[in-house]
Structure 1
Amino acid sequence: MPNVFVHPWRHAALIRILSWRDISGRYRGSLLGGLWALLTPLLMLAVFTFVFGVVAPTRWPGAEAQGMGMFALRLLAGMVVHGLLAELLQRAPTLVTGQPNYVTKVVFPLEVLGWVALLTALFHALMALLVLVVLNAVWGTGLSPTVLALPLIVLPYALLLLGLCWLLAALGVYLRDLTQLVGPLVMVCMFLGPVFYPRQAMPALAQPWLALNPITIPVEQIRRVLFDGQWPDWQTLAQYSLVAVVAYAFGLWAFTKFKKGFADVL
């Protein structure tokens, strides 16, 4: 169990190098390079504003009073949170199978692959969050001191996703069909989460179940601190953080147990 807390610091230099290589490699050869990390959320915002504000208007409590721009910012907040889950979990099942040389030919701490995938996805999510904070400060509800609580919301969410990533990466070595299953599950998380509508828009009986979606609490708490100028619901955030730590520890434990057979399968 100590490995749960020690291993990221033990391999910090390796994680940093591989993460930077992963991030920079994504934009290598492109004309605008890393600027795409900032331009992408702006393009998403424009699309959301047009589709959900003009083509197929979506009803949101209070949207009429706040205007289309505020509605689009709320949508973008939900999509940024879901985008982090989508990028990480869709990559997870092939995280190990896509790097067979790390398993069969060299001595390599395979747990590092999960951290690299997380930090790469987190980089893009944080860039999108930065754009969201700036746009909200200029055209939305303004800049509130509660924005300082954003790291306290993102951190447990990231730990939970990392635990899920390790679990899916380990299972993906043995169950190759998992790659086909994760895509639809990611879509379910989006449409059964408060991305396009608030939880209050769901039937009363379904609202408690919506909390089981890993994106629900982060989306609601980020909107709370960004747009409502309120501090997070600390009790809810503490409960979510406890679940996140358990998921992180279990995912790493499962990955460590399963990896003993990776070489035989690959």
Structure 2
Amino acid sequence: MPIISDLRESRELLYNLTMREVKGKYKRTALGQLWSLANPLALMVVYSLVFSIVIRVQPAPGDPSGLDYFALWLMCGLLPWSFFSNVVNGGMAALVGNENLIKKVYFPRSALLVSNSLAWLYSWSIEMVVLVVAVILLGGAPYLYVLPAMVLMVLLTLFSTGVAMMLSVANVHFRDTQYLMGIVFQIWFYANPIIYPATMVQEVSGGVGSFLGMTVFDVYRLNPFYHFILAFRNLLYDNRLPALSTSLVVLALSLGVFLVGWWVFDRHQSRLAEVL
């Protein structure tokens, strides 16, 4: 693949760009990378108080882990979503934010998008390690599923990078893209079973019935991120492998979206300096 050869030839640049992103996020802060845990922890506390105590959302215990902690259940969906949204939002701004560099020096423009993804992957990995430790301390046994979870993290990185590549090109041509996507992400967040279980949608769907052979829940499952959340919860909260159908959907989405994203990006990257 051309992207592989481009990144291999510019691997030193890719490393430097990634480290610039990692170090630049928390430059001159006392806690450094520990701040990467602050936002998800704050969201966990807020959502746990609102949805588990006030609204009393009750997801089913982990099967077969037996875990029954809303905070852990929540984080298994919230952390992947936060990573995805950070990669896409950062990717959309990567080309516009490096306009001067793109106009002055030739290098594979894809390095800007990939370095953004790798930098967020580094922060996300720290968060996921903390989550796994918390699951173990509270009685879970994710030992056999850490490796599949790491593979799933790589697949989500591919999916996120593919989306970021498409939207970064769109944002170069239409600067309204970043503002529009801000609204889309707010809506999309609540269209995912992150703070409520998908069974709630399934119950409502059963009462509504079907239209043209499709139920509300069938439409709900067309959301690609639904399958990623389901897979992460199966591995880390339920402590079991996802269903084969879920695994195949996630694999197809990750590779398909990444390849389409790269194809779109590759078609436009030679003209980025002119458009910017």
TM over 0.5: yes
Counterpart position of 1:191: 190
Counterpart position of 2:119: 120
The AA in structure 2 aligned to 1:238 is: L
- What is the rounded CA distance, in whole Å, between the counterparts of 2:48 and 2:251 in structure 1? 33
Q: Closer, same or farther in 2 for the Cα pair 1:213/1:11, shift >3 Å?
A: farther
Counterpart position of 1:250: 260
SS at match of 1:163: helix
Question: Identity percentage over the alignment?
Answer: 24
What is the CA-CA distance between 1:39 and the residue it aligns to?
4.5
What is the CA-CA distance between 1:8 and the residue it aligns to?
2.9
What is the CA-CA distance between 1:84 and the residue it aligns to?
1.0
The reply to whether residue 219 of structure 1 matches residue 219 of structure 2 is: no
What is the CA-CA distance between 1:166 and the residue it aligns to?
0.7
The reply to whether residue 168 of structure 1 matches residue 158 of structure 2 is: no
The reply to whether residue 35 of structure 1 matches residue 55 of structure 2 is: no
Give the TM-score of the pair, scaled to structure 1. 0.90
Does the 8 A contact of 2:6 with 2:108 survive in 1? no
What is the CA-CA distance between 1:66 and the residue it aligns to?
5.4
SS at match of 1:96: helix
For 1:212-234, what per-residue CA distance to the aligned partner results, in whole angstroms no more than 9, with x for missing partners?
32321121111111121211223
Q: Closer, same or farther in 2 for the Cα pair 1:234/1:15, shift >3 Å?
A: farther
The reply to whether residue 180 of structure 1 matches residue 203 of structure 2 is: no
The 5 Å alignment of 1:57-68 reads 57-62=56-61, 67=68
Q: Closer, same or farther in 2 for the Cα pair 1:47/1:62, shift >3 Å?
A: same
Give the TM-score of the pair, scaled to structure 2. 0.87
Counterpart position of 2:129: 130
Does the 8 A contact of 2:224 with 2:253 survive in 1? no
The 5 Å alignment of 1:1-266 reads 2-62=1-61, 67=68, 70-202=69-201, 203-204=205-206, 205-266=215-276
Does the 8 A contact of 1:140 with 1:227 survive in 2? no
The AA in structure 2 aligned to 1:158 is: T
The AA in structure 2 aligned to 1:169 is: S
- What is the rounded CA distance, in whole Å, between the counterparts of 2:223 and 2:83 in structure 1? 14
SS at match of 1:97: helix
Does the 8 A contact of 2:52 with 2:58 survive in 1? no
**Residue range with higher mean Cα deviation, 91-100 or 216-225:** 91-100
Q: Closer, same or farther in 2 for the Cα pair 1:46/1:243, shift >3 Å?
A: closer
Does the 8 A contact of 1:92 with 1:166 survive in 2? yes
The AA in structure 1 aligned to 2:217 is: Q
Q: Closer, same or farther in 2 for the Cα pair 1:167/1:53, shift >3 Å?
A: same
Does the 8 A contact of 2:92 with 2:168 survive in 1? yes
Q: Closer, same or farther in 2 for the Cα pair 1:199/1:256, shift >3 Å?
A: same
SS at match of 2:229: helix
The AA in structure 1 aligned to 2:186 is: M
What is the CA-CA distance between 1:92 and the residue it aligns to?
2.7
What residue ranges of structure 1 are gaps of 5+ in the alignment? none
**Residue range with higher mean Cα deviation, 131-140 or 211-220:** 211-220
Q: CA RMSD in A?
A: 2.1
What is the CA-CA distance between 1:206 and the residue it aligns to?
2.4
- What is the rounded CA distance, in whole Å, between the counterparts of 2:266 and 2:36 in structure 1? 33
